[in-house]
């Protein structure tokens, strides 16, 4: 069983709600691939015993989004828009406790120099928070495989820090969440890294390319790809740009994977009618048709509680709680339809299941597609 956790800043609260629902229902992952805020939450999951995972994730959000004196404004539909703007402005101007603070506070915003110092914000508080919340000995000995995406600045390559091949330390998590130009690059063994979302915000490929020849259940938790709309203001244009930039890569990855599955299934069908001699001559092609089962459950954040480009850096406590509730509700809705995706698919087939609240589900004739 695998989780794929996207980046998305404060939208990661939705991600937490989904994960909470899955963990409570007993859907413990064997592998988590993640980037950015997803990498932070994945590391907290893997770096804690099962009975403490939800508690530590809740503590993380309590610490970085503790609330403000004006939170009452977020409780009314009349003042919600103003509350959203005010919360986002506070994050930009003053940062978030236990997460990051603006360098203007210290009077140092370098315009040139080393990428590890070139940023608008200082993420030293995040380092301390991660060290407080994560047991790194457990993280590196845990049977759950952890893959954290980061981009090498020098060549633009996307790499994954894996607790099977690397000893994961706090620097690896911070590298996966080092989104420029807000956050500084992280130096690991002489190589500079940025947030994996700069290259791919949906680390789904690393799971799909390594799926063994057995049934795999993969939960893709999408922070950006839930609801489409036509922008009617400059702010909505930027909001929609982010949705497309950070969310549509998942759609393309899923489409390409399912097309490859069709080819694999065709090769398996072909192998059944070939003679032994023909099979021997075509062995290199028939290997493509090896059984490769995957059920992909796609959950996407579809609520537009925050209708603005600032939705990924709006850490208003009221909004954070609503996103958590939305994610938890979506997880429960998916679990209620377990009969749609919870069974072993036909031999050699993979399945895509869209959660009930996914906007993309409206464009499908069926609730599930089998390939």
Q: Is 49 exposed, middle or buried (0-12, 13-18, 19+ CB in 10 A)?
A: exposed
Report the chain's mean pLDDT, rounded to a whole number. Answer: 87
Read off the CATH number of the domain in which 320 is found. Answer: 3.40.1090
Torsion region of 188: left, alpha or beta (phi above 0 gives left; psi -120 to 50 gives alpha): beta
Would you call 28 helix, strand, or coil by DSSP? coil
Residue 153 confidence (pLDDT): 97
Residue 348 CB partners (closer than 8 Å, separation 6+): 264, 265, 268, 289, 291, 292, 293
Q: Can you tell me the distance from the alpha carbon of 128 to that of 98, in angstroms, rounded to the nearest whole number? A: 8
List the one residue out of 33, 62, 63, 57 whose CA is nearest residue 45.
57
Q: Whole-angstrom Cα distance, residue 107 to residue 116?
A: 17
**Among 87, 119, 147, 195, the one annotated catalytic:** 195
pLDDT score, position 366: 43
Residue 8 has pLDDT above 90, yes or no: yes
Q: For residue range 316-339, what is the model confidence (pLDDT) as tens digits?
A: 999 999 999 999 999 999 999 998
Q: Please state the domain count of the chain.
A: 1
| 168 or 270, greater pLDDT | 168
Which of the following is catalytic: 10, 36, 87, 360?
36
354 Ramachandran zone, left/alpha/beta (phi>0; psi -120 to 50): beta
* Domain extent for 263: 2-370
Closest CA to 60 of 48, 68, 71, 73: 48
Cα angle at 239 between 237 and 241, to 5 degrees? Answer: 70
Residue 334 near residue 354 (C-beta atoms within 8 A): no
- In eight-state DSSP terms, residue 344 is P
Check pLDDT > 50 for residue 367.
Answer: no
C-alpha span between 138 and 144 (Å, rounded): 10
Instruction: Determine the pLDDT at residue 212.
Output: 60
Indicate if 233 belongs to the active site.
no
36 is known as an active-site residue? yes
Question: For residue 215, what are its two tokens?
Answer: 């049934």
Write out pLDDT tens, residues 234-286: 888 888 888 887 777 777 777 777 777 777 777 777 777 878 777 777 777 66
Contact 234/365 with Cβ under 8 angstroms?
A: no
What percent of the residues of the chain are helix, what percent strand, and what percent coil, each to the nearest 5? Answer: 50, 15, 35
DSSP conformational letter for 220: E
| Distance between CA atoms of residues 164 and 191, nearest Å | 20
């Amino acid at each position: 069983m695998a989780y794929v956790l996207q980046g998305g800043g404060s939208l990661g609260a939705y991600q937490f709600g989904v994960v909470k629902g899955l963990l409570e229902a007993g859907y413990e992952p064997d592998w988590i691939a993640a980037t950015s805020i997803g990498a932070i939450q994945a590391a907290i999951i893997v770096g804690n015993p099962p009975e403490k995972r939800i508690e530590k994730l809740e503590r993380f959000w309590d610490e970085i989004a503790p609330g403000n004196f004006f939170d009452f404004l977020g409780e009314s539909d009349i003042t919600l828009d103003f509350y959203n703007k005010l919360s986002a402005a506070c994050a930009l101007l003053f940062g978030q406790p236990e997460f990051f603070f603006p360098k203007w506070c210290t009077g140092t915003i370098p315009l040139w120099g080393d990428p590890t110092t070139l940023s608008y914000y200082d993420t030293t508080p995040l380092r301390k928070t991660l060290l407080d919340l994560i047991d790194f000995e457990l993280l590196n000995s845990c049977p759950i495989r952890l893959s954290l995406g980061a981009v090498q600045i020098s060549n633009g390559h996307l790499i994954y820090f894996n607790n099977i091949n690397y000893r994961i330390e706090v620097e690896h998590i911070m590298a996966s969440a080092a989104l420029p130009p807000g956050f500084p690059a992280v130096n690991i063994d002489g190589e500079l890294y940025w947030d994996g979302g700069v290259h791919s915000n949906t680390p789904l490929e690393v799971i799909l390319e390594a799926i063994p020849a057995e049934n795999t259940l993969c939960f893709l938790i999408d922070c950006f790809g839930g609801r489409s709309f036509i922008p009617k203001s400059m702010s909505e244009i930027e909001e929609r740009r982010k949705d497309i930039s950070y969310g549509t890569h998942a759609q393309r990855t899923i489409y390409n994977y399912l097309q490859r599955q069709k080819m694999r299934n065709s090769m398996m069908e072909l192998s059944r009618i070939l003679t032994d001699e023909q099979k021997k001559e075509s062995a290199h092609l028939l290997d493509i048709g090896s059984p490769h089962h995957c059920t992909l459950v796609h959950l996407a954040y579809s609520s537009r509680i925050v209708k603005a480009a600032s939705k990924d850096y709006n850490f208003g406590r009221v909004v954070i709680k609503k996103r958590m509730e939305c994610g938890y509700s979506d997880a429960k809705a998916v679990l209620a339809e377990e009969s749609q995706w919870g069974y072993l698919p036909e031999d050699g087939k993979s399945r895509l299941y869209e959660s009930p609240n996914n906007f993309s589900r409206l464009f499908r004739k069926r609730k599930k597609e089998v390939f």
